[in-house]
Amino acid sequence: MTTRINFNGEIGPDAFISVLDHGFLFGDSVYEVVVTQNGLPCFMKEHLRRLRNSADGLTLTIPWSDEKIMEQVARTVIDAGNSESYIRIIVTRGMGDLDIDPTSCSNPELIVLVTELKNYPASSYEKGINVALVSIKRNAKDTVNPGIKTGNYLNNVLAKVESNHMGAQDALMLNHQGHLTECTTSNFFFVCDGRVQTPSLSCGILAGITRDVLLQLAQENGILIEQGEWPPESLAKAEEAFITGTVKKVMPVTHLDGKPVADGQPGPVTRRLMRLYDSALEMEGKGSA
């Protein structure tokens, strides 16, 4: 496994950030995680669009063009030379005064971290995972908006710690209205009465790129996915559940709070969506999506 880090254009085995960078001091940064297929970064346009939206949400101006960022990503991927890559693109507020006010930070930093893509074990896809409903709530939209992907993930870190204690692989959070939102680094879907349902963006979630691709694939293939607001009690009748994310792809959830979802096996709708998503990734790897 080779890890290469591009720090403002300089590539090396590691990189060091100033402790005066507000990304380090206050989590004042934005980021994206991209994976490659056949060595090509997938859904790059969508990731860069979200990176800019996230930066706008923090009034952080990204001074580099998409072409410049893609060029740095390509250089780093080639330099790392892994068969498939995990790519983390980070833009921090940059160095400034030892003060929360970002106006003293005039030079954002661009970091592109590339390492070997580690896929989840095949058994997770074959058997599904256990997700716990935790007491930690997803951030309210009028705090650090969950719709922007910032370097401050502490709320999700706490949710993950809680799910670890519950013996689960991930945590499902509610919002302050008591509706289902998402997991710590993935979006959540469930099937009830044959209908696929997922919390809407208005519940306060990240607009996952995988979620968006899946919504599109479902529409093209005549699978209705409803977006809405659901209380956790709706899960009692769930026939299937799954989560989506760039690295996890479409991952079946076969246990909720340790109890089986239906027969505790990945269901037919989940399997179909897994196949559709894998095909979409293959298209990305041909550069033809």
Ligand X SMILES: Cc1ncc(COP(=O)(O)O)c(C=O)c1O
Give me the residues that bind ligand X (CB under 6 A), please. 33, 182, 185-187, 206, 208-211, 244-246
Task: Considering the complex, state which of residue 94 and residue 125 has its C-beta at the smaller distance from ligand X.
Answer: 125
**CB of 56 vs ligand X, minimal distance in Å:** 17
Let me know: does 115 contact 2? Beta carbons within 8 Å: yes
- Closest distance between ligand X and the C-beta of residue 199, in Å? 11
Rounded to a whole number of angstroms, the minimum distance from the CB of residue 150 to ligand X is 10
| Alpha carbons 151 and 147: distance in angstroms, whole number | 13
Nearest approach, Cβ of residue 168 and ligand X (Å): 16
CA distances (Å), 119 to each of 116, 158, 172, 276, in order? 9, 24, 21, 18
- Record the tokens describing residue 15, joined without a space: 């990189």
Q: Of 95 and 168, which has the nearer Cβ to ligand X?
A: 168
Beta carbon nearer to ligand X, 106 or 177: 177
Q: Smallest distance from the beta carbon of 243 to ligand X, in angstroms?
A: 8
Task: Give the residue with the Cβ less far from ligand X, 209 or 215.
Answer: 209
Identity of the residue, 94 or 179, whose beta carbon is nearer to ligand X in the bound complex: 179
DSSP for 93-154 reads --B--SSS-GGG----EEEEEEEE--PPPHHHHHH-EEEEE-SSPPPPTTSS-TTS-BS--H
Instruction: Extract the tokens encoding 119.
Output: 């896929």
For ligand X, the closer CB: 29 or 186: 186
Neighbours of 179 (CB within 10 A): 19
Q: How far is the CB of 107 from ligand X (least distance, A)?
A: 26
